[in-house]
Amino acid sequence: MSSLFDPVQAGRLALANRIVMAPLTRNRAPGAIPTPLMATYYAQRASAGLIVTEATAISHQGQGYADVPGIWSEEQVAAWKPVTEAVHAAGGRIVVQLWHVGRVSHVDLQPGGQAPVAPSAITAKTKTVLIREGVPTFVETSTPRALDISELPGIVADYRRAARNAIAAGFDGVEIHGANGYLLDQFLRAGSNQRSDAYGGPIAHRARLLLEVVQAVSEEIGAGRTGLRLSPVTPANDASDPEPQPLFEHVVARLAPLGLAYLHVIEGATGGARDHQQGERPFDYAALRAAYRAAGGQGAWMVNNGLDRALAETSLSQGADLVAFGKAFIANPDLVQRLRAGGPFNAPDRSTFYGGDHRGYTDYPALAA
């Protein structure tokens, strides 16, 4: 049986251990431009086998929150370079999480103050964050407009450009954000997708946009440095589907031949109950992995949500290859060393999760040498 601290290969990514820093939104990139402080923050955490950056918008239209970074412009690419260089200098590996929020946005964040876009014109019952007069403020998301089918190739092209930009910025690869009720997940789930064209209705139609995006990104930078995050039952951002098991088994079976570096699965409600249920039966994660393997999928299997060392080891013993930690990495830059030592662990301060300065960001102490 492999240990948390053993090296592992995920596609073309050679990782020093199985401990992954999960993507964590921190809202410290004013104007969607990464900052030098972000380089310090990520470099402090470079002993993770892999860092997945905070969700990063592929286009202005893909933006849904104040002060989250983007990767659509030359200026953003230039600003990410010091981040990837700092992580590499510290011996780490880092992929950028590619994000289009779809309907989880607000007109104030959209180009020209337009409505956000979605599979269908259904408002998400969720909130986003704007900065009003310098103060982070929660607001209801705006009512979206349904994307015309003629616009979808442009969105796929935006993912492709973002992937190309990621490599230009020095990232080791990308993770496509297919989870948590954002655009690709909105297409997957019946609760947000009521289209009657080739991108809505039956499971194979609802999965089409996600698969086109994964295909395009894989063509652009190589499937061996492309990962994908899914969250089969999360209710985050008003995501809902009455039958997640066949939906996600279809998705992973269709992904299998593409040769992705890894699949990243959030088990349960994101940041909440691991046994959260949508539909009539508890979700069977072992069956999901079996469906991927049966279809020939060889990517690393990454699991996430509320793990501690014991649960992470159980996950590895049950067939996971990688385990992702979120809040623990916020508070413990040297989480790998602390897991090895059995603690102690700093406690995260929620009041500094979203927005602010270095406090609660780069000032959590490492263990004494």
- Positions marked active-site: 182
In degrees, rounded to 5, the angle at the alpha carbon of residue 289 between the alpha carbons of residues 285 and 291 is 110
Site for ligand 8OZ in 243-282 (CB under 6 A): 270
Nearer to ligand 8OZ, 226 or 270 (CB): 270
Q: Which of 84, 105, 141, 180 binds ligand 8OZ (CB under 6 A)?
A: 180
Minimum distance of ligand 8OZ from residue 308's CB (angstroms): 21
Under 8 Å between Cβ of 57 and 71:
yes
Q: How many CA atoms, within 13 angstroms, populate the side-chain half-sphere of residue 61?
A: 17
Residue 329 touches ligand 8OZ, criterion: CB under 6 A: no
Q: How many CB atoms lie within 10 A of CB 263?
A: 26
Minimum distance of ligand 8OZ from residue 192's CB (angstroms): 15
Nearer to ligand 8OZ, 104 or 291 (CB): 104
> Which residues 6+ apart lie within 8 Å of 343 measured at CB?
none
Nearer to ligand 8OZ, 180 or 193 (CB): 180
Minimum distance of ligand 8OZ from residue 105's CB (angstroms): 11
DSSP 137: E
- What is the C-alpha separation between 175 and 250, in angstroms, rounded? 20
Minimum distance of ligand 8OZ from residue 270's CB (angstroms): 6
Nearer to ligand 8OZ, 55 or 252 (CB): 55
Interface mask toward ligand 8OZ for 201-240; x: CB under 6 A? -----------------------------------x----
Under 8 Å between Cβ of 348 and 330:
yes
Q: How many CB atoms lie within 10 A of CB 222?
A: 16
Tokens standing for residue 12: 């073309």
Q: List Cα–Cα distances, 357 to 24, 169, 234, 330, in angstroms.
A: 16, 24, 30, 14
**Interacting residues with ligand 8OZ (CB under 6 A):** 25, 55, 65, 180, 236, 270
